[in-house]
Amino acid sequence: MSAFLSRNRLIVLAYAGMIVLLLVTAIFSPGFLSVSNMRSTVVLAAFVGIVALGQTFVIIGGGIDLSVPWVLNSAAIVMALLCGGQDLPLVWVMPLLLAGGALIGLVNGVGVAQFGVPPIIMTLATNVILQGLILVLTGGSPTPSAPALIQFLSVGRIGGFPVIALIWLALTLVATLLLSKAAFGRHLYALGTSATVAEFSGVPTARTTVLTYLISGLTAAFAGMLLTGYSGQAYLGMGDAYLFTSIAAVAIGGASILGGSGHYLGTVAGAMVLTILTGLLPALNLSSGALLVVYGAVILITVSIGSETFAGLGGRLRGRRV
Amino acid sequence: MSVEQTVARAQMPTQMKDTRPGIDWRGRALDRAPFLVACLMLALIVAIYGSLQSGVFTLDELNLDTAAAMTLMLAATGQTIVLVRGGIDLSIGGMISLGTVIAATRFTDDPSTTAFWALAILALGFLIGALNGLLISLLKLQPFLVTLATWSILNGVAMIILPTDGGSVPGWWVGFASGQLLGLTSPVWMLLALLAFWWWFRATRVGIIIQASGSNEKSAFLSGVSITRVNIVTYGLSGLFAAGAALFLITQTGAGSPTIGKDYILPSVAAAVIGGVSLFGGRGHLAGTLIGAFVLTLIGNLVFVLHVSSYWQPVASGVILLLSVLASSVAEKAARSRVL
Amino acid sequence: MDLVTVKGLSKRYGGIVALSEAAFSARAGEVHALLGENGAGKSTFIQILSGAVQHDGGTILVGGRDYRPANPDAAQARGIAAVFQELSLIPDLSVEQNIWFRHEPRTLLGTVNRTEMRRKTLALLEKYDFPALRPEQELRRLTLAERQIVEIAKGLAKDPRILILDEATSALPAREAEWLLKLTRQLAAEGRLVIFISHRMAEVRAIADRLTIFRNGGTVAAHEAAAVSDDEIVTQMIGRHLDRLYPERVPTMTDRVALKVGNLTSGSRLSGVDLSLREGEILGVGGLQGHGQRELFQALFGATKASGAIELWGKPVAIGNPRQALTGKDGIALVPEDRRGQGLLLTKSVRENLTLSVIKRFTESGLLSRQKEAALVKEMVDFLRIKAGTPEQLAGTLSGGNQQKVIFGKMLLTQARVLLLYDPTRGVDVGTKGEIFQLMRDLAARGYAILFHSSDMPELVHVADRVLVMRNGRIAATLEGDYISEEEILRAAMLETRAA
């Protein structure tokens, strides 16, 4: 047990932090721990969690995906346009847009793995290009509202559980399997630790890199469609906030921004922490500006705890050579 | 000569190349390739622009375009220093917003109050940047994460001070941007000042140490460089320039905005990359960055003049960014293959 | 009267004792050699002297005064400069910028005074008769040997009273190495103290006045160079007889050809190599450094692009990347040169490292099986006697020898029977070296085919069945049986071609 704890130290800390935060929030806001409130917190966190799923894979592999905002937004808008408020088109529209998201991811991945474009630049470029293209497409005018089916997925419930929470749970299982129980995960951790060593060990580095961006494009597109269901409408700029929150969730969850370590389970805790903080707002009478300050402080604190300084300190205290 | 001596003497590497004959022109050209590509792109854009619109090759146009690009140029100058160091500064977005917000709420018609607050903003920029550098060194954290966090904090503070766009800036401050000397407006003089600054800075010990730390941090450390101090100065300067960008920005907008800063973060990196600054650190010249800033700014003009939707601007920016990077990566690979 | 006196110096890193009770004394105007195996404590000792590391116990006196520098700058202030094997040069700066780094002459504006810097550079290069260097050239364009020379200039630019040279000749070709040896005598004549670490007896003999021998973290003896024999030195360095290092030579070769290579060419360094390696054979690859050995191994493993024909066990194969090399029983595996940068994930466990290349072997219907993995790990840990507390221990915390064993294990698990070993015993302690040589012979006896490069000629001579000597990217000679000797290898490497 203690071996498990020490190996996954950072993830455990993230969950501990989440619980502490929940309790603190409950003190300031008595109704916070109610079933209905927890339910909506989980729903909101699910959106962050889904986008952050792809981001987690990319970051573990040593990259970063800055194209998340407009992949999300593009999928949202195109879905709204193609469905025109009807449910039936969803049957082909959803797979099409998921494929579209995957395709953007593929482009990102190939740019990074094959052409050696730094991830920051590659994904930044695809982001602004998508932004421009979508703006040209819509001319800035509003789109039809979301089909009812999508709305159900985002807002509806099955047996008391929000559908989206179930979706998130399923995705969490898949991600955990991929990372912990599949060859892909091992390859990914090796790649993120040292691309050279991975290459010399026969790891398919290019393919693995491309896959991470592909997954990220997929989850961003998926989240975009779900978000449209949640708010009933697709609007311009709806993806912007998710860049910061997806990266923050991954960082708070204990992953190293350089790659090679971390796990989606930690990201889940990170997404929850960020969402709970948002709920703390009205409770403490804080403005949205104060929330941003809190976000920043939380990130600094959590990554400091995970960083070398403290790891080294802990090691020395225990007399181990670190 | 005994076997041992022969053995000992022969035990090892390459013949030393005689490096005397001639300057390595091809190597040097390849090094400069990204910069040259940027110059070409700028020339191309200006040519197309000039062919479709009259009055482009005039001083007026230069004054106008430099004013439009100057905020980005200032932000990108700080970012260039950080990139040469081998890091990245995402917090400049927050600093720019905060700077405009403080100015818009504190500047008055009274010159001494305004001067005080202007200096305070600059000092704040440097101090917060220095704090970034300190956090990066002491906590051994990645610049990306630290500056992401401080961006959020600064942004938040800006929003607290001024929740929505507003405030006011004295007319004479705004007028600074149009002030002229010898037919050139202040932004153009600032451009020259930036180049002069860089030319000086790069030749100082501090500048060389920053470049060295970006080129190979381990070697710099082994040579006795205090990485902590380097980071403090590097990010401090970045913050200072971001504050300067804010002070210039309000001459263009006349008001403060808690969200305007984020539009300058990634473009500041893009401008530098287009201009040939390496994301890995150790190489790059401000002239390239400034050209990159011009390229990004002029795309807007070009889109307008071509009578296409202004929404094509981000698309063009993205494509140009990718082309630059591909060009420099090809050049870098060619350059690197000539070593060892 | 001594310039440097050290008594009872000790240093621990956690539970590992790097130095204990080390003693040392040297005078001005002397060249003093430090001898000892890898891991004996020499590096730690000079790191302490040069201010890079703080000692725990003991005293150091320099010029009669107590010496405990907090950092290299403080050491420099006391006149001590070091030239390490790990270069401290900045790739994007020029040669002269590197030489005067942090000590550049300045103008009133605070900028670097380029004319003055150039003058001082040329004066320095002239004074010590440096080999050809162009001050304005960007460092990244220089070869390793040239960089070593710049590093030496950098040390001299500080005008030190005491100059420490750590294996400074190891990267230098013959002519330049001789220049360096002359330089040390010149510096000593100027009244400086030169502390010189080298593995090469001939060099030590050529220049050292006195020498100190390290072993197991302590100083064993100090001698006037003229008063001690080579054998005595070696015995004191190793502490036991040299004989047992190499395994008994047993004929293990069969007629089956495991690896056949035709006209392998890559870049400018590999210019058409033909070879054939048989089952059960240990084939050595030697020659002077930089003549294509590294490129040969990397090309065979697919780590660099190459053209030419490769046949494994009679079947032609195309190896475009390591993944295509590691195909299982008929594949080819490489234990690479750079343990830390190419061979191991230092922040991952021994287990993860061992199994990285063979994930398919413990995957059942798409999912990893912990038990199967554990079985594979145990198999290798036991077979190779890898000393790690548990398989979960991080690879970065293992000793060099054990790290090397993990890499061996990783490659053995791929079941490839053709092994490429590039300098497998570099930086490995003597005990593990012996184990590795025995392992090689055991594997050969089991039908493995081994291609083996070492920068240490005695190893090639004593372990390999045949030796291919490379020169200018080609095989210059093939040596067999009685013809395998250091002299023959050298002759082939430097002089005329000899038929096999």
Rounded to whole angstroms, the maximal C-alpha distance in chain A is: 65
Residue linked to tokens 């006795």:
B224
Does C322 contact A319 at a Cβ distance shorter than 8 Å?
no
The per-residue pLDDT for A321 is: 30
How close, in Å, is residue C171 to chain B by CA atoms?
Answer: 6
Number of structural domains in chain B: 1
C261 CB-contact burial (10 Å; exposed 0-12 / middle 13-18 / buried 19+):
buried
- For B278, name the nearest residue in chain A, comparing CA atoms only: A118
Does B9 contact C455 at a Cβ distance shorter than 8 Å?
no
Residue pLDDT, tens place only, A134-156 = 988 888 787 778 888 888 888 88
Of residues C341 and A312, the one with the higher pLDDT is: C341
The per-residue pLDDT for B193 is: 96
Does C352 contact A203 at a Cβ distance shorter than 8 Å?
no
Range of the domain at B308: 62-331
Kindly list the partner chains of chain B, i.e. chains with 3 or more CB atom pairs below 8 Å: A, C
- Of C35, C73, C96, C101, which to mutate for an interface test with B (greatest number of B Cβ within 10 Å)? C101
In-domain check, residue A63: yes
| Domain C4-242: CATH superfamily, name plus number | P-loop containing nucleotide triphosphate hydrolases (3.40.50.300)
Does C145 contact B282 at a Cβ distance shorter than 8 Å?
no
The per-residue pLDDT for C285 is: 94
Complex prediction ipTM = 0.87
Query: Which of B150, B161, B314 lies nearest to residue A128, judging by beta carbons?
Result: B314
Alpha helices in C82-216 (DSSP H): 95-99, 114-127, 144-157, 174-189, 201-207
d(CA B131, CA B110): 31
How close, in Å, is residue B74 to chain C by CA atoms?
Answer: 23
In 10 A of CB A36, how many CB atoms?
Answer: 8
3-state secondary structure of C4: strand
The per-residue pLDDT for C15 is: 67
Contacts of A194 in chain C (CB under 8 A): 341, 345
Is C94 in the B-facing interface, judged by CB distances under 8 Å? no
In-domain check, residue A290: yes
Q: CB–CB of C446/C439 below 8 Å?
A: no
- For B150, name the nearest residue in chain A, comparing CA atoms only: A296
Tell me the average pLDDT across C191-198: 92
d(CA B246, CA B257): 10
How close, in Å, is residue C109 to chain B by CA atoms?
Answer: 8
Angle C13-C90-B270 from CA coordinates, rounded to 5°: 110
Q: C4-242 and C245-494 share one CATH topology?
A: yes
Is A187 in the C-facing interface, judged by CB distances under 8 Å? yes
Does A289 contact B163 at a Cβ distance shorter than 8 Å?
yes
Residue pLDDT, tens place only, B272-320 = 999 989 888 898 999 999 999 999 999 888 888 888 888 888 899 999 8
Does C348 contact A189 at a Cβ distance shorter than 8 Å?
yes
Q: CB–CB of C220/C213 below 8 Å?
A: yes
- For A250, name the nearest residue in chain B, comparing CA atoms only: B145
d(CA C133, CA C154): 13
How close, in Å, is residue B291 to chain A by CA atoms?
Answer: 18
3-state secondary structure of C138: strand
How close, in Å, is residue B230 to chain C by CA atoms?
Answer: 13
Of C55, C43, C50, C52, whose CA–CA distance to C8 is shortest? C55
Residue pLDDT, tens place only, A192-231 = 999 999 999 999 999 999 999 999 999 999 999 999 999 8
The per-residue pLDDT for A5 is: 66
Alpha helices in C337-485 (DSSP H): 350-355, 370-384, 400-413, 430-445, 457-463
How close, in Å, is residue A90 to chain B by CA atoms?
Answer: 28
Residue pLDDT, tens place only, A45-81 = 999 999 999 999 999 999 999 999 999 999 999 999 8
- Torsion angle of alpha carbons C250, C255, C258, C263, nearest 10°? 110
User: Does residue C242 register a pLDDT over 70?
Assistant: no
CA atoms within 13 A on the CB side of C235: 6
Average pLDDT, chain A: 88
In-domain check, residue B82: yes
How close, in Å, is residue A128 to chain C by CA atoms?
Answer: 32
Percent of chain C whose pLDDT exceeds 90: 59
Contacts of B327 (CB under 8 A, 6+ apart): B33, B34, B37
User: Does residue A319 register a pLDDT over 60?
Assistant: no
d(CA B49, CA B34): 22
Q: Looking at mean pLDDT, say which of A25-34, C169-178, C216-225 comes out highest.
A: C216-225
In-domain check, residue B310: yes
Q: Which helix (H) or strand (E) holds C165?
A: strand C162-166
Does C352 contact A181 at a Cβ distance shorter than 8 Å?
no
Number of structural domains in chain A: 1
User: Which positions 268-297 of B are in contact with C (Cβ < 8 Å)?
Assistant: 282-283
Q: For residue C31, what are its two tokens?
A: 């060249």
- Confidence label for A186 from pLDDT (cuts 50, 70 and 90): very high
Interface of C with A (CB under 8 A): 13-16, 301, 303, 321-323, 325-326, 334, 336, 341-345, 347-348, 352, 355-357, 359-360, 363, 366-368, 392, 397, 410, 414
Q: Hey, where are the domains in chain C?
A: 4-242, 245-494
In 10 A of CB B47, how many CB atoms?
Answer: 11
- CATH fit for domain C245-494, picks 3.30.1510.10, 3.40.50.10490, 1.10.340.30, 3.40.50.300: 3.40.50.300
d(CA C373, CA C367): 12
Range of the domain at A167: 34-306
In-domain check, residue A14: no
Does A128 contact B135 at a Cβ distance shorter than 8 Å?
no
Contacts of C322 in chain A (CB under 8 A): 199-202
Of A97-106, A287-296, B187-196, C236-245, the range with the lowest mean pLDDT is C236-245
Q: CB–CB of C499/C475 below 8 Å?
A: no
How close, in Å, is residue B22 to chain A by CA atoms?
Answer: 32
In-domain check, residue A29: no
- For A199, name the nearest residue in chain C, comparing CA atoms only: C322
Q: For residue C425, what are its two tokens?
A: 């015993």
Written as one string, the DSSP assignment of C209-268 is: SEEEEEETTEEEEEEEGGGS-HHHHHHHHHSS-SGGGSPPP-----S-EEEEEEEEEETT
Contacts of B224 in chain C (CB under 8 A): 71-73, 76, 102
The per-residue pLDDT for C495 is: 66
**At B138, which CATH number?**
1.10.3470
* AA identity, residue B176: F
Does C14 contact A204 at a Cβ distance shorter than 8 Å?
no
Query: Which of C321, C323, C359 lies nearest to residue A186, judging by beta carbons?
Result: C359
- For A205, name the nearest residue in chain C, comparing CA atoms only: C323
- Of C73, C89, C90, which to mutate for an interface test with B (greatest number of B Cβ within 10 Å)? C90
Contacts of C391 (CB under 8 A, 6+ apart): C349, C350, C351, C354, C374, C377, C378, C381
Is B8 in the C-facing interface, judged by CB distances under 8 Å? yes
* AA identity, residue A189: Y
3-state secondary structure chain B: CCHHHHHHHHCCCCCCCCCCCCCCHHHHHHHHHHHHHHHHHHHHHHHHHHHHCCCCCCHHHHHHHHHHHHHHHHHHHHHHHHHHHCCCCCCHHHHHHHHHHHHHHHCCCCHHHHHHHHHHHHHHHHHHHHHHHHHHHHCCCCHHHHHHHHHHHHHHHHHHHCCCCECCCCHHHHHHHHCEECCEEHHHHHHHHHHHHHHHHCCEHHHHHHHHHHHCHHHHHHCCCCHHHHHHHHHHHHHHHHHHHHHHHHHHHCCECCCCCHHHHHHHHHHHHHCCCCCCCCCCCHHHHHHHHHHHHHHHHHHHHCCCCCCHHHHHHHHHHHHHHHHHHHHHHHHHCCCC
Percent of chain A whose pLDDT exceeds 70: 93
- For B14, name the nearest residue in chain C, comparing CA atoms only: C290
> Beta strand pairing status for C31-35 and C210-215?
parallel
Q: CB–CB of B121/B243 below 8 Å?
A: yes
How close, in Å, is residue B181 to chain A by CA atoms?
Answer: 38
Q: Give every residue of chain B whose pLDDT is below 50, as ranges.
A: 1-21, 339-340
d(CA B106, CA B98): 12
The per-residue pLDDT for A174 is: 97
Percent of chain C whose pLDDT exceeds 70: 97
- Of B105, B139, B302, which to mutate for an interface test with A (greatest number of A Cβ within 10 Å)? B139
Q: For residue A320, what are its two tokens?
A: 């181990």
- Of B4, B18, B19, B24, which to mutate for an interface test with C (greatest number of C Cβ within 10 Å)? B19
Residue pLDDT, tens place only, C104-160 = 999 998 899 999 999 999 999 999 999 989 999 999 888 888 999 999 999 999 999
In-domain check, residue B2: no
> Beta strand pairing status for C367-368 and C418-422?
unpaired
Q: CB–CB of B157/B98 below 8 Å?
A: yes
Is A5 in the C-facing interface, judged by CB distances under 8 Å? no
Q: What is the CA radius of gyration of chain B?
A: 23
